[in-house]
Amino acid sequence: MKFSEYLKRNDYPGRGLAIGRSADGKQAILCYFIMGRSAGSRNRVFEPDADGIRTRAFDESKLPDPSLYVYRAVRVLGKHTIVTNGDQTDTIYDTLAAGGNFMDALRTRTFEPDPPIWTPRISGLLTIENGAMSYSLSILKNGGDETPLRYFYEYDAPRAGEARLLHTYAGDGNPVPSFCGEPVCIDTRSYSCVHCVMQDLWSGLNADNKVSAFVRMVDLETGKTTDLIQNKNA
């Protein structure tokens, strides 16, 4: 399924990220989106930040706990692009810079401290080197009794025309249930540019709950990036 076909089945997937390849295999695709039900969650926008993006409050006077709402969602370190739904972006960046790896970094973290939801932390790492790409995904979630479960998925030779999507919630609820299962396979064969990806992704997100989305495409040969940000609050 395309993004729109999959996401329209779920009113509240929460925050989500995806990494994959274009139909011709020449570009990497990286996406991140956020949603919200509360006024605080909806009071956010994406903005460019150095080599990636960060979240910020649209109305600073209505900002709840900034530790869970304001963070760098996408950062680049050499051949690596990091995308996450929280401040573990910086944990991964610092660990890689110190010679560690993706799993080392996330073994030091757990799900978010927001009971009773215990929002999962989702993370992705895109690596591009010598015209080839690979990527890793992870979800850290509450396994019960506040015991963390850490899942890791590696894609060393990702297929053209395919991406993998992780999101925080399986659907709406009170409290919302955590995502379960393997990353979802997304068909990227109809996405020829960032605008095509964004249009399909944005149209699939629930109109009431969607907040912001980001799409980046990277030419695997040249390393050139093309970014697009969509904010409901403008």
Q: How confident is the model at residue 136 (pLDDT cuts 50, 70, 90)?
A: very high
Cβ 9 vs Cβ 23: under 8 Å: no
Statement: residue 65 has pLDDT above 70: no
CATH of the domain at 215: 3.60.20.20
Global confidence as pTM: 0.96
Give the residue-averaged pLDDT of 142-155. 95
Statement: residue 59 has pLDDT above 90: no
Statement: residue 133 has pLDDT above 90: yes
Cβ 140 vs Cβ 148: under 8 Å: yes
Q: pLDDT of 84-106, one tens digit each?
A: 999 999 999 999 999 999 999 99
Give the residue-averaged pLDDT of 191-215. 97
Cβ 82 vs Cβ 64: under 8 Å: no
Cβ 227 vs Cβ 213: under 8 Å: no
Report the alpha-carbon distance of residue 61 to residue 58 in Å, rounded: 9
**Dihedrals phi, psi of 168, to nearest 5 degrees:** -80, -35
Structure confidence at residue 41 (pLDDT): 85
> How many domains does the chain contain in total?
1
Q: What is the mean pLDDT of the chain?
A: 95
Q: Which helix (H) or strand (E) holds 29?
A: strand 27-35
Structure confidence at residue 64 (pLDDT): 64
Q: Which helix (H) or strand (E) holds 90?
A: helix 88-97
Statement: residue 47 has pLDDT above 80: yes
Q: CB under 8 Å to 134, separation ≥6 — which residues?
A: 127, 154, 155, 156, 157, 158
Nearest residue to 34 via CA among 85, 80, 106: 85
Q: How confident is the model at residue 51 (pLDDT cuts 50, 70, 90)?
A: confident
Statement: residue 152 has pLDDT above 70: yes
Q: Scan for tokens 């573990």, then name that residue.
A: 88
Residue 224 belongs to what domain range? Answer: 3-231
**Dihedrals phi, psi of 21, to nearest 5 degrees:** -125, 155
User: Is 97 in a helix, a strand, or coil?
Assistant: helix
Give the residue-averaged pLDDT of 56-72. 79
User: Is 176 in a helix, a strand, or coil?
Assistant: coil
Q: How confident is the model at residue 28 (pLDDT cuts 50, 70, 90)?
A: very high
Neighbours of 151 (CB within 10 A): 18
Statement: residue 62 has pLDDT above 90: no
